[in-house]
Amino acid sequence: MNQQTDNLPSRWPHRLACLLAAVVFPLIWVGGLVTTTDAGMAVPDWPGTYGYNMFLYPIETWLYGPFDLFIEHGHRLLGALAGLIAIAMVVATCTTERRPWVKRLAVALLALVIFQGLLGGLRVELFARWIARIHGCVGPAFFVAVIAFCVATSRWWHQQNKTRDQTRLRNGLIWLPIIMLGISYGQLVIGAFLRHMDEAAPPATYKWLIVAHISVAIFIAFGTFMQWIISRQKMFHRVGIRASANVLVLLVLSQISLGIGTWVVKFGWPGWFRQFNFAAHFIVPEKSLLQMNLITAHVVVGSLILAFWTIHSLRCNRRFAAVRNCSTTDSATSITHSDIHAITASDA
């Protein structure tokens, strides 16, 4: 028993990564609110806040001041907290983790969070909307990387050394999730461009971005449904694949609803609905709580979909992909297809 405990890696990198993910998720929400409420320029200086050190800005002024200042300063503080946790995570990982690639990933995460902070600062200092676009794309990328780190340092990941199924390559569970992850990120990039559209942009630019956004959404919905069908096969029972596929279907359905809702609360019902009473009477409620939260929820659920595709991709690949360049600590002990059923049955 003791020997077994000694062989297990420290839980601290995983715990800190989970804490980081728990901070980054609301950070993305608040970041979305910053854009939705146009609060990005509520604080004109950086890294300070109106001449104060960011951490010493009077709490009364922050909490009871203008709403956009509350949101923007809160976003900065939350971002700083994410940076501090990332530092702790790097220290914990470098001192306890044996896998070199995990150490590198931890350092890359720290670099990414610093880079993201710099982008936020540059957006304010240079008043540049295009930096806001990059800032909006790097945020979810960082979230995804944190989630990937959580999975890679989890107990489940280590357990796969014993239960990995290499009997047959399943492309539907190896390549499709990776492709969907990439497309979902592309969708998020289009979303960032739509959210941070230049004020002087011609109508055609926005129109084609919307067409692309809707087309990709349809493709993602189709791909997610396909993945869900694949995961329903009996052999994937209790291997953690079904659960993430189920969640993805729910998230994608919610996201499509939120997307429609976002359009309606921003621009009203499309023309062909206007012969209906509810649409003809509808008045767009600018800057209402409904509008702000619905639009922001659309942004946040987008990141959540990305996070779950990451979990799903890593799980599928860890479980079913062929092993290449195995190290001692990260290798899989090949077992047969019948063994996996025996193990999952004993789990039950």
Partner 1 sequence: MKRCSSFCILAIAVLACAACGPAEPIEFRYNAVEQLKQERLFMDEGEHFPDSSREEVTSILKILFGTPDRPQRSDEAAAILDLTRLNMAAGPVESEIDGTPHGLYREHCAHCHGISGDGAGATAALLNPYPRDFRLGKFKFKSTPLRTPPTDRDLTRILHNGIPGSAMPSFRLLPDEEIAALVDYVKYLSIRGQLERTLLAEISSLDGESLFEIEQSETAPEIDSMSADEVPDAIGPEFLEDIVARWQNADERVTAVPAAPAGFQIGHADHGNLTSQGRELFFTKGNCTQCHGETAAGDGSTVNFDDWTNDWLKTPGIDPYDRESWKPFMALGALRPRPVQPRNLNLGVFRGGDAAEDIYRRIANGIEGSPMPASAALSSNEIWALVAYVKSLVHANDKFSKP
**Window contacting partner 1 (CB under 8 A); options: 146-154, 227-235, 260-268, 325-333:** 260-268
CA distance 230 to 172: 7
User: Among 77, 197, 212, 226, which residue interacts with partner 1 (rule: CB under 8 A)?
Assistant: 197
| Binding residue (CB under 8 A) for partner 1 from 22, 58, 64, 66 | 66
Among 63, 198, 233, 333, binds partner 1 (CB under 8 A): 198
CA–CA distances in Å: residue 201 to residues 137, 193, 194, 206: 20, 11, 11, 8
Q: Where are the alpha helices (DSSP H) in 65-170?
A: 67-96, 100-126, 129-152, 155-163
The residues near 317 (Cβ < 8 Å, ≥ 6 apart) are 174, 177, 178
CA end-to-end span of the chain: 22
Gap between the Cα atoms of 213 and 208, Å rounded: 8
Contact call for residue 60 and partner 1 (CB under 8 A): no
Site string for partner 1, 17-56 (x = CB under 8 A): ---------------------xxxxx-x-----x------
Residue 39 or 230 with smaller CB distance to partner 1: 39
Stretch that binds partner 1, among 156-164, 201-209, 299-307, 328-336 (CB under 8 A): 201-209
Cβ 163 vs Cβ 318: under 8 Å: no
DSSP 179-205: HHHHHHHHHHHHHHHHHT--TT--HHH
> Taking CB under 8 A as the rule, does residue 151 contact partner 1?
no
Mask for 225-244, x = binds partner 1 (CB under 8 A): --------------------
The binder of partner 1 chosen from 171, 200, 328, 338 (CB under 8 A): 200
Integer angstrom CA distances of residue 49 from 55, 62, 115? 9, 10, 19
Which residues contact partner 1 by CB under 8 A? 38-42, 44, 50, 65-69, 104, 107-108, 111-112, 115, 118-119, 122, 126-131, 134, 197-207, 210, 266-271, 274-275, 277, 279-288
